[in-house]
Amino acid sequence: MRDVTVLGIESSCDETAASVVRNGRDMMSSVVLSQIEVHQAFGGVVPEVASRAHTEMMTRVIEQALRDAKTTFSDLDAIAVTYGPGLVGALFVGVTTAKSLALATGLPLIGVHHLAGHMVASALSHGATPPYLVLIASGGHTDLINVLASGEMVRLGKTRDDAAGEAFDKVARAMRLGYPGGPAISEAAKRGDPTRYAFPIAKLPDGPFDFSFSGLKSAVMLVLDKEKRAGKESSIPDLAASFQEAVVQALCAKTEAALLQTGQQTLVLAGGVAANEALRLALRARCDALGVEFVVPPVALCTDNAAMIAAAGYDRYVRGLFDDLTLTGVATASI
């Protein structure tokens, strides 16, 4: 088959990103403009501010991605864009840009589910192909997905409340560690004792592969509050380490159970929380014990980026799955 070159566009949260990927594997460019600094002053992502920042930067980011790949629109075969889930105003910016470009160039348009993007990030880094089990842990999602073949997947479990990354962000905020919380907590945790506090791990007997992190988040906040009222200064490193340990144990336990039930021989870790070193180490140890291959892309491909969207767009291109100009951004979208 001839080469297929796809431009990917991502704007579901606070990263404005564009990338050119050839044949779903060869990353020719990947530009990610983080808005973190814009949102830090507010302690979290402000949707309206995110949409404005995407609008200001989107065309420049796309131009840069084309330049880095030494590509022009005439070299492209399709335009892939994240349509959801995410912040709807932010998604509109990417989707409207992609539709305008498709209309102007005559290139086919491909709407990509954000999680389908996270799922194929390992194809870009490791050339991984299904079947595999994927754990996606990000600011918006905590999902265990059994990928049987390209485009054929079953969601085994999801979070009932906060996503893992969201819990990191909220707990960090309560500890005044700033935004985003994940990197700040993992840094503080390095100096802390993970056994100092025994935090709860939700069992959820009616959903063996589901997650819940809001009880854990409340437990940490309760300790902070209690110690403050008792006039004690909380040990942030110990709290961070104990909280992180509880998240890691919950993610590992459910993932191990899903590996045992599905018999999958490969585990792929994806999403921004995959940057967490303690989580990587713990999952690798469980996989080693089970004789399962553990695949985790580099951090730049775990956090939001457009290369994963272009790669997932390629998978739809080869299956002839295109969208028309009625494509729109949606806040929630089932996989």
52-64 burial, b at 16+ Cβ within 10 Å, e below that, comes to bbbbebbeebbee
Question: Which of Zn ion, ligand KG4, none binds 275 (CB below 5-8 Å, type-dependent)?
Answer: ligand KG4
Question: What does the block give as tokens for 28?
Answer: 């020719």
Touching Zn ion, residues 137-176 (CB under 5 A): 138
Would you give the binding string for ligand KG4 spanning residues 9-48, x where CB under 6 A is met? ----x-----------------------------------
Q: Where are the beta strands (DSSP E) in the chain?
A: 5-10, 15-22, 26-34, 78-84, 109-113, 132-137, 142-149, 152-158, 266-270, 293-295
Closest by Cα among 14, 266, 18, 232 to 131: 266
- Interface with Zn ion (CB under 5 A), residue total 2
Among 15, 166, 245, 304, binds Zn ion (CB under 5 A): 304
- 226: alpha, beta or left? (left if phi > 0; alpha if psi -120 to 50): alpha
- Interface with ligand KG4 (CB under 6 A), residue total 20
Among 165, 194, 237, 297, binds ligand KG4 (CB under 6 A): 165
265-285 burial, b at 16+ Cβ within 10 Å, e below that, comes to ebbbbbbbbbbbebbbebbee
- Other beta carbons within 10 angstroms of residue 226's beta carbon come to 11
Residue 35 binds Zn ion (CB under 5 A): no
Question: What does the block give as tokens for 196?
Answer: 């100092």
Question: What does the block give as tokens for 24?
Answer: 């779903």
Among 139, 157, 313, 329, binds ligand KG4 (CB under 6 A): 139
**117 in a known ligand binding site:** no
Which amino acid, one-letter code, is at 64? Q
Between the two ends of the chain, the Cα-to-Cα distance in Å is 28
Residue 140 binds ligand KG4 (CB under 6 A): yes
Question: Closest distance between ligand KG4 and the C-beta of residue 330, in Å?
Answer: 15
Is the Cβ–Cβ distance between 165 and 137 less than 8 Å? yes
Touching ligand KG4, residues 218-277 (CB under 6 A): 271-273, 275-276
Among 186, 212, 264, 266, binds ligand KG4 (CB under 6 A): 186
Question: Closest distance between Zn ion and the C-beta of residue 82, in Å?
Answer: 9
Among 84, 182, 192, 297, binds ligand KG4 (CB under 6 A): 182
Question: Closest distance between Zn ion and the C-beta of residue 114, in Å?
Answer: 6
Nearer to Zn ion, 138 or 276 (CB): 138
Stretch that binds ligand KG4, among 65-73, 162-170, 252-260, 325-333 (CB under 6 A): 162-170
Residue 169 binds ligand KG4 (CB under 6 A): yes
Question: Which of Zn ion, ligand KG4, none binds 329 (CB below 5-8 Å, type-dependent)?
Answer: none
Question: What does the block give as tokens for 309?
Answer: 């969207």
- Other beta carbons within 10 angstroms of residue 21's beta carbon come to 31
Stretch that binds Zn ion, among 176-184, 208-216, 258-266, 301-309 (CB under 5 A): 301-309
Applying CB under 6 A, the residues found at the interface with ligand KG4 are: 13, 138-140, 165-166, 168-169, 180-183, 186, 271-273, 275-276, 303-304
